[in-house]
Each structure stands twice: as C-alpha cells, then as structure tokens.
Copies of this chain bind each other. A is one copy, B any other.
Amino acid sequence: MSNAAIAQTPSINGFEPTAMQALVDIVTRDPKQAVTTFRVRSEWKGGARSEAHVDGYELGGQKIARKHVIKSDEPREFFGEDSAPNPQDLLLAALNACMLYGYASGASMMGIVLDSASIESEGTLDVRRAMGLTEEVPAGFPTIKYRVRLRARNATREQLEELHKAVMNGSPNRYHLASPIPLVATLDVG
C-alpha cells in the first residue's frame, strides 16, 4: 500500500479497513482464494503431556510457513504435572479467540471503535464417560455458556447486537462446537 493510501485509511482496532476490503475483493472475484486448510501434528510426550506443532497453513492452494508449538498437560488430579493448559482449557480458549477475532475485525468493518472486548466461557462435564465407567452421561460438556463483554466508543446497542449476530453466524470455532462435525479417523499401528 502507498503512503497516501495508508494516510487515507487509519487503523481501527488494529485492523486496516482498506486491507480488509482488498481481501473481500479478492475472494469475491476468485472464491478459491478463500479456501483455507489448517493442520496440527501432535506428539505424546509421556504421561499426560503432549506437544502440538503448527508448521504452516494453506490459503488459496498456497502453503504458507508458520511455526507454533502448543503444549498440553493435565492437572495433578488427573495424573498430570499441570505444566500447561489441559485439552478443555485449549478448546475454550480456541472458541474465545475465534469469537474475539470476529468481534474486533467485524467492528472495524462497521467503523466501531472498541475500548475493550472479553469473553468468559465455561462447561461442566462428568469424567466417568472418559474413564469408561458409564455410557449414561455425555463424554463432554452438555452445553457451553459464554458471556461477551464489549465496550465501544461510538456504537449503538443495535449495532453491537448486529455484530453479535454476525459472529454467531460466521465464527468457525463456534460452528465447530455448535454443529456436528464428522471426524474421519485413521488408525496406524505399524
């Protein structure tokens, strides 16, 4: 982008509406550019510990290298060392992060300046199913509750409710939890 263009499009909430509009134009013209593949390779590290490795992702058929490591462990009550978030912590963090991105980027497209945004989510599960002791309870959270707090400088309640609806409709990770996703497993035992 030229300096002149940057001057014309001040950042809102850390996003540049001109750059966002450019992506809208690209994927509208060529929908294949919107196809995105995420892949995570995780290794068991002994006991309750594991490490997930992100080596990149694919966008519009092009591989883009990135390097991230996500560790997991369990609290001591579940025989871990509490050295990292557990899998349910990671899942709720994934949900919150995806929706916060939706609120912040969506607000920017609507011209809404956010002072703050936060989400608290929670779920309660009965670990007896995971322990193989009963089939009479679901394996995970029967429901997930979450509270979104938005503080905006220049928005009506109606605009924030519109933004809220857009995030409920469009957030990938909200969809992954709210909808049944077919999981296709392959077992390789050498």
Contact = CB atoms under 8 A, between A and B. Distances in A.
B27 A131 contact: yes
Given A93-B90, A131-B27, A183-B143, A14 B48 contact: yes
Interface string A36-63: 1111111110111110101001110000
B92 A91 contact: no
Q: Is the interface of A mostly helix, strand, loop or mixed?
A: mixed
Interface string A134-159: 01001111111111111110000100
A40 B92 contact: yes
A87 B78 CA distance: 26
A97 B93 CA distance: 14
Contacts of A96: 40-42, 50, 52
A104 B172 CA distance: 30
A16 B173 contact: no
A144 B184 contact: yes
Contacts of A48: 14-15, 101, 104-105
A115 to B, nearest CB: 9
A75 interface: yes
A38 B171 contact: no
Contact of A88 (B98, B140, B144, B147): B98
A6 interface: no
Q: Enumerate the 4 nearest inter-chain pairs by beta-carbon distance, A residue then B residue, closest first.
A: A14-B47, A42-B96, A52-B93, A87-B98
Given A52-B97, A129-B170, 7 more contacts: A54-B85, A70-B85, A87-B173, A130-B171, A140-B181, A146-B184, A152-B189
15 contacts: A16-B79, A20-B79, A34-B128, A38-B88, A38-B92, A40-B120, A70-B70, A70-B93, A72-B94, A74-B101, A87-B94, A141-B172, A146-B184, A148-B188, A174-B183
